[in-house]
Every structure is written in C-alpha cells, then in structure tokens.
Structure 1
Amino acid sequence: MSFGQAISTCFKKYVTFSGRASRSEFWWFFLFVYVVGAVLYFIDSAMGLQIGASSQEMNIGGTVVPFANSGIGVLSLIWGLVTLLPGISVMVRRVHDSDKSGWLVLLGYVLMLACGIGTILLLVLALLKSTPGDNKYGAANA
C-alpha cells in the first residue's frame, strides 16, 4: 500500500474496528500523523498559539538561561483529536492482521493510564509525612 492510499484508507475507515490493516497501512498513517503533528507544533510555537504557555529564567551555575514552557498548541491539540479515532481503529485492525484480539489495544491504553496513575501514587506516597516515633517497620529516623 502506498503512502497516499494508507492515509486515504485510514480516514475512510475512521471508526472501523473490524477487518485488517497491513503493516504499510499502519506505519504510513502514523508517519503522516507524526510529521503533520510536528509541523503544527512548530506553527503553534511560531504563532504563539499555546494554551498554558509560560516563560521563565533558570539560574544554572550563576548563568541565567531563558526557559520556555510551550504548553499545548491549539493546532496540535485539534490535530490530535482529529486523528485519535482513526489511529486507534488502524491499531485495532493491525492487531487483527496478526490474528490477535483488538481488545489488546484497550489493554495497552489501560496499562499506559495505570502507569501514569501509578507514578502519581508513588509521588503522593513519597510526599507523606513521617510517622512520629517508632512504627512496625523500625525506629524513627534521627
């Protein structure tokens, strides 16, 4: 399947979660999504179309270095929303092509979300106050 055919097929099968997708269909589509996303990111940055953008200065070894948090680009966000469902559907069809259940894609997204939640949980646990005095795990730290 050619580059153009892959893009056309993925947008025509926007929410088609049945059937199969070849490797070329899958990889050409994701190359297109990422390249367009990168271009839109640079346009967002150049035009100042970020949500939550901020500028700061960092002092590194006595040298003041300007630092910018570009936030989320409006065009990039729209592109991500437009390509979300066709990206998921082509992933499901790609998994079907290897004779596996499309539910594995959902499992992958759940695990990705769980890792994010797990990271937040570990951060919260690390920020908890110490128990005063001894506890069942040992003596209090000095």
Structure 2
Amino acid sequence: MDFKDAVRTCFNNYANFSGRAGRAEFWWWALFCLLGSAVLGAFSHKLSAVFSLATFVPYIAVAARRLHDTDRSGWLQLVGLIPLVGWLILIYWLVQESKSSSRWA
C-alpha cells in the first residue's frame, strides 16, 4: 500500500473500528497527519487545529484496526494516555508484525 492508497482507505473507513489495518496503512496515515498539521501550522495554527480535529476520528479508527492486526483490542490505545511509558508501549505494539489470527476480522 502506498501513501495515496493509505490516505484514501483511512478516509473511506473513517469511523470503521472493526477489521484490520496493516503497518503500511497506519504509518502512511500517521505521516499524512504529521505533515498536514505541520504544513498548515506554518500558515495558521487555526488551520492546523481544524485539520487535526478532522483527522482525529480516522486516526483513532486506523489505530484500532492496526491493534486488531496484532491481535490486541483497540481499547489498548488508552495506554497512550500514560505519559512517556504508555506512548512507548503503544508505539511498540503498532510497529509489530501482523498476526494471522482471524479474531478481529
């Protein structure tokens, strides 16, 4: 999956919290959100904030699907609320390879 396909897929599944998302889909989406916020932030902080709000639900959805792909519950994103340690654990889970289980399919 390339950058364009990942962004299109995430916008098409913006509120789909079931199923699976591969590593490429998640990380291309994360890059899109980071770059979009940075570029718009250079022009206006309000534009950056609107962009971040517009991509918040799709980001949570693709992260939940990514965690499902590693055989974890999407609710484990809440671990990221723990400063530093939670972020590191969540990133570790998000970079892991896909599991072949059909638990979340």
Quote the residue 2:33 is aligned against. Answer: 33
Could you give the per-residue CA deviations for residues 80-132 of structure 1, whole angstroms, max 9, x where no partner exists?
100000000000000000011111013433x35xx9xxxxxxxxxxxxxxxxx
- Structure 2 unaligned residues grouped into runs of 5+: 87-105
Which SS does the other structure have where 2:27 is aligned? helix
Q: Which residue of 2 aligns with 1:77?
A: 49
- Would you tell me which structure has more strand in proportion to its own residues? 1
State the alpha-carbon separation in 2 of the partners of residues 93 and 76 from structure 1: 25
State the partner residue of 2:72. 100
Q: Where do residues 49-60 of structure 1 align in structure 2 (5 Å cutoff)?
A: none
Match of 2:8 in 1: 8
Calculate percent identity across the aligned residue pairs.
Answer: 48
Q: Where does structure 1 differ by over 6 angstroms across 4 or more consecutive aligned residues?
A: none
Computing the radius of gyration from Cα coordinates, the structure with the larger value is: 1
Q: Which amino acid aligns with 1:3?
A: F
**d(CA) in 1 for partners of 2:39, 2:79:** 31
Shift of 1:39: 0.6
Partners of 2:50 and 2:27 in 1: CA distance: 21
For 1:25, give the aligned amino acid.
E
> Which structure dedicates a bigger proportion of its chain to helix?
2
Q: Secondary structure at the match of 2:16?
A: coil
TM-score by length of 2: 0.75
Give the alignment's TM-score, normalised by structure 1: 0.56
Pairs aligned (count): 84
Structure 1 distance, partners of 2:32, 2:52, is: 12
CA RMSD, 1 decimal:
1.4
What is the deviation of 1:22? 0.3
Q: CA deviation at 1:26?
A: 0.3
Question: Helix, strand or coil for the counterpart of 1:14?
Answer: coil
Q: Which whole-Å deviations, capped at 9, do the CAs of 1:58-83 have from their partners, x for residues lacking one?
A: xxxxxxxxxxxxxxx11011001000
